[in-house]
């Protein structure tokens, strides 16, 4: 029955005729009523008063440089004019705010940790909303949600050009789309404006590894990442690229919540969850996961992606990250949501905040997403 509901929700969205946004607005209106009771029951801590606001954010220096910096090493937060993001479902935020199976196909781009533009910093803490505290006219934050599998214009996606389900071999295609978009977007001075791009991709390669070990090899991961970063380095002036280290994926095997979203996620990452504990296949995959991480570090620490007006920075804070656990050691109790693998709330806040601070502080590594993060 659960799989039938998933199929029904997805098919209804895919088959619905596109007539402007009317069908989507009707669907979302119905979904909001359907989800309210489930939201309060399953996530009472996420049901906030309408008047709720995060505390104001202040910084001793929130002003831009007196003149536009020519060196990447002198760029301040307020100097950033454009923000963008590439990657997979962790950036499209598919199902991130879903409370029922009907919400799984929705991409909640407007609350995505790296580029969500919903409200303000006091409404949703994302990297884009943090940067907007320094530059309120920032271009690119994702303003609203989209539906997986249906075309969406820039007025809905912003410069969140990530694609749900993409692997690393798809990244050059995303990069080309971004470059072409930046060059033609009329409100951007392509040569003069400083741009901040966040890239998080590679977890789907691990999930698909057993299906094609050649296509999803460490060598191909490095190749497509290199091709993508070289395109950006050679064609885009005044850009800072945050490449986020991929997660250790083994903890996904611990997801036991019997919801449609969790069952669906386990199916999507079958190469990880199906092998028996201690099996040779599982040990190989865990080793490949580590090789991906090490290869990415070696590539980005080589210095080949740095010049006066361009830099690629590896953000390592997810390298050893483990999900929060309930007292009985079961994982993903809160921040994973209906889809089971879409970190939200405090964990998303942490990633956004750490990404912003990395240029002025040591590159920290998270060991676990715990309630202690709320002390930030």
H or E element that contains 132? helix 127-134
Q: 3-class SS at 160?
A: strand
Please tell me the predicted confidence (pLDDT) of residue 263.
62
**CB under 8 Å to 242, separation ≥6 — which residues?**
114, 196, 197, 198, 199, 313, 315, 355, 358
| % residues pLDDT > 70 (the chain) | 68
What is the spatial distance between Cα 160 and Cα 185, in angstroms, rounded to a whole number?
14
- Flag whether pLDDT at 41 surpasses 80: no
At residue 176, φ and ψ (nearest 5 deg) are -60, -40
Q: 3-class SS at 373?
A: helix
Q: Is 183 left (phi over 0), alpha (psi -120 to 50) or beta?
A: alpha
Please tell me the predicted confidence (pLDDT) of residue 368.
46
- Do 167 and 208 touch, CB atoms closer than 8 A? yes
Q: pTM for this one? A: 0.81
Q: Region 230-256: what's the mean pLDDT?
A: 90
Q: Region 179-189: what's the mean pLDDT?
A: 97
What is the spatial distance between Cα 3 and Cα 258, in angstroms, rounded to a whole number?
12
- Flag whether pLDDT at 21 surpasses 90: no
- For tokens 């250790």, name the residue: 248
């Amino acid at each position: 029955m659960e799989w039938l509901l998933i199929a029904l929700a997805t098919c209804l969205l895919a088959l619905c005729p596109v007539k402007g946004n009317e069908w989507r607005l009707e669907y979302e209106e119905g979904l909001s009523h359907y989800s309210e009771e489930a939201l309060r029951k399953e996530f009472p801590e996420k049901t906030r008063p309408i008047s709720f606001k995060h505390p104001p954010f202040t910084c001793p220096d929130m002003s831009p440089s007196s003149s536009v910096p020519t060196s990447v090493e002198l760029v301040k937060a307020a100097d950033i004019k454009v923000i963008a993001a590439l990657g997979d479902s962790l950036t499209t935020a598919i199902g991130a705010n879903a409370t029922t199976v009907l919400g799984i196909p929705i991409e909640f781009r407007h609350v995505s940790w790296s580029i969500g533009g919903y409200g303000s910093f006091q409404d949703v803490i994302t990297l884009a909303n943090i940067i907007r505290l320094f530059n309120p006219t920032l271009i690119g934050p994702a303003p609203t949600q989209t539906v997986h599998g249906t075309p969406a214009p820039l007025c809905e996606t912003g410069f969140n050009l990530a694609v749900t389900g993409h692997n690393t071999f798809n990244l050059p295609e995303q990069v080309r789309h971004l470059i072409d978009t930046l060059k033609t977007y009329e409100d951007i001075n392509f040569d003069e404006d400083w741009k901040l791009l966040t890239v998080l991709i590679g977890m789907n390669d691990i999930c698909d590894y057993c299906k094609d070990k050649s296509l999803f090899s460490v060598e191909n991961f490095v190749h497509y990442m290199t091709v993508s970063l070289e395109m950006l380095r050679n064609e885009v002036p005044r850009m800072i690229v945050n490449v986020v280290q991929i997660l250790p994926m083994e903890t996904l095997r611990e997801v036991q919540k019997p919801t449609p979203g969790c069952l669906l996620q386990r199916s999507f990452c079958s190469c990880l969850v199906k092998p028996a504990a201690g099996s040779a296949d599982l040990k190989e995959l865990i080793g490949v996961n580590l090789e991906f991480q090490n290869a990415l570090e070696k590539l980005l620490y080589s210095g080949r992606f740095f010049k006066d007006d361009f830099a690629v920075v590896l953000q390592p804070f997810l390298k050893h990250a483990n999900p929060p656990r309930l007292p009985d050691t079961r994982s993903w109790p809160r921040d994973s949501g209906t889809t089971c693998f879409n970190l939200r709330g405090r964990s998303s806040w942490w990633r956004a905040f750490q990404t912003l601070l990395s240029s002025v502080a040591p590159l920290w590594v998270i060991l676990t997403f715990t309630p202690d993060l709320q002390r930030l």
